[in-house]
Amino acid sequence: MNEKAMARHQALTTGIRNGPRCRHRLWCGPAALLVGLALPAISAVAQEVPPNPSTVSDESVRRINGYRGIWFTLGQFYGQGEDGGYIPMRRQPTFPYGDKYSGGLATYTAKHVPLAVHCPEVDKTFFVYGGAPEDKQRYLLCMVSYYDHRTGQVPRPVVVHDKGGVDDPHDNPSLLIDDQGHLWVFVSGRGRTRPGYKYRSRRPYSIDGFEQIREEELTYPQPWWIDGLDTPFVHLFTKYTGVRELYVERSVDGQTWTEDQQLAGIRRDGDRAGGHYQTSAVWRQRIGTFFNRHPGGNVDKRTDLYYLQSDDGGVTWADVEGNPVETPVVDVENPCRVRDFESDGRNVYLKNMVFDHQGRPACLIVTSGGHEPGPPNAPRRLKVVRWTGNVWVESEVTQVDHNYDMGSLIIHDDQWIVMVPSDAGPQADHGGGEIVRWSSRDSGATWQRENAVTENSVRSHNYVRHPVDAADPFFVFWADGDPTELSPSRLYFADSTGRHVHVLPDQMETDKTPVQVIDLDTSASTKNETP
């Protein structure tokens, strides 16, 4: 560790810690308000729901009779000033630009990775999401389910963790499946006000019961199983140590974990705070992460792009060329910096990352002029930043109309594919829109619009996610919702062509039911209607 890091951080150890780390003093009482976030302010009031136990402590399994996503508003609204710019941020709904982000956020955030895994052993795609007990009910349930590729059916989804009144999808879960087929659900906490949890399925390839393994501080969980490593469980996550800093922990069995190793906490001289968001992926025994930087800890100024990779499960780290990088990364001008976007006055919003067939990393991002929604910060450019083997290059896929229009970059056979809500949709200039499939046949250098995935919708689609080892027809999945007002939210998935869209049933009369296919050639009245 260099002198600057030593002065700023305590030395980290690599010892194994055992048992759950319970920090109830941090999360009880008045401190349980969100750190740095406005309480949601919207005309509709959240419904009261009796809290349920937040852990699965016996053999009982709580199921929900349908797939209903969580709806959320951050409560940071912007309108247009007389000069064409922005009026100051308000807590009450303000238009034409509306909230910084809102809508159906069942598959939020981009920093929750992965959300789904296909298991060829049982030919099922298991997935997690943020659910709600009923439509327009702002009460978060951390859900798990699966799609059975052999039968075309889904079961009633299972509640892994009841957040006890929290309505914030920052607490959504992520998913890992180990070599024995056990599902590990990592439930996000929020800063230092709410804890995170790790759960393990009682049986392989089964959602019929989970046991809580740990309770601890973790946000934006990114758990990975890397076969062949001494510690195959590798977990990248965020701790609010000043303000959002990146960490990694490792485990042999998922029960006992190494001490948290800090990856990044960049601050300029004189800064009292910093911060990062990241997105990660695995190729063979390599784990890679792209991350941005929050100058002075200000998330609204997020900028720049960095990349680190590790071939030993996060014990040591290197840049893209394999040169060792000392962690934690604390200097702005570090060898692992991919691109200086701050000098261009551009914000950077990470979407997802992939490795190509040769193990070269690529990242999907949006750059814009600022954090406020609406045309004054346009153009918002959806770009792919990729390593060619010799140099970092970037190419523009298209433009979007919101910083939080989230899609996925996918490498499938000989094509690079992006599925993203790049068409404005029913609520233009707000989060989400109509999903479009874009493709490249020259490794991301140039892009062509292929086809619409959704059309004529009444609610905006957003946060398009790609499962690990995805198999048709469950190639991408997402949720919809109206970002301008409290609305129902449905969940969908589509195949690799983007021409066959399925909607998960919002009401189920039986334990299992076939999934409805939406025909894009039919009239708009058959698609995505409010119940």
CA distance 119 to 177: 9
Facing residues of 133 across strands? none
Q: Cα separations (Å) of 187 from 88, 160, 197, 313, 459?
A: 34, 9, 5, 21, 27
8 A C-beta contact, residue 400 and residue 420: yes
pLDDT of residue 518: 86
Tokens of 518: 């939406």
**CA gap 282, 353 in Å, rounded:** 9
Cα–Cα distance, 258 to 266 (Å, whole number): 23
Residue in 264, 273, 274 with CA at minimum distance from that of residue 327 = 264
CA-closest candidate to residue 143, choices 188, 176, 173: 173
Ranges of beta strands (E only) in 120-165 are 124-131, 141-148, 153-155, 158-162
**Nearest-angstrom CA–CA distance, 363 and 351:** 7
Q: How far is CA 487 from CA 29, 135, 222, 328, in A?
A: 31, 7, 29, 42
**Which of 101, 117, 220, 135 has its CA nearest to residue 171?**
220
| CB within 8 Å of 183: residues ≥ 6 apart | 126, 144, 175, 176, 177, 200, 201, 205, 206, 207, 210
Listed as ranges, residues in the chain with pLDDT below 50 are 1-58, 521-531
Q: What is the model's pLDDT at position 423?
A: 98
Query: Three-state SS across 430-475?
Result: CCCEEEEEEEECCCCCCCEEEEECCCCCCCEEEEEECCECCECCEC
Two structure tokens written together for 517: 């296919």
One-letter-per-residue 3-state SS of 3-52: HHHHHHCCCCCCCEECCCCCCHHHHCHHHHCCCCCCCCCCCCCCCCCCCC
Asked if 106 and 70 touch (Cβ cutoff 8 Å), the reply is yes
**CA dist 75 → 33, 36, 43, 373, 482 (Å):** 14, 12, 11, 13, 15
Residue 403's pLDDT is 98
3 φ, ψ (degrees, to nearest 5): -65, -35
How many Cβ atoms sit within 10 Å of the Cβ of residue 255?
14
Euclidean distance between CA atoms 105 and 94, whole angstroms: 20
Dist CA 163 CA 52 (whole Å): 8
Q: What is the pLDDT of residue 242?
A: 86
424-460 pLDDT, tens digit each: 999 999 999 999 999 999 999 999 999 999 999 999 9
- Contact (CB, 8 A) for 430 and 102: yes
Contacts of 503 (CB under 8 A, 6+ apart): 490, 491, 492, 515, 516, 518, 528
Place of tokens 């040169």: 323
- Tokens 């809580």 appear where? 212
Distance of CA 299 to the CA centre of its chain: 16
Alpha-carbon span 209 to 201, nearest angstrom:
6
Can you give the pTM of this predicted structure? Answer: 0.89
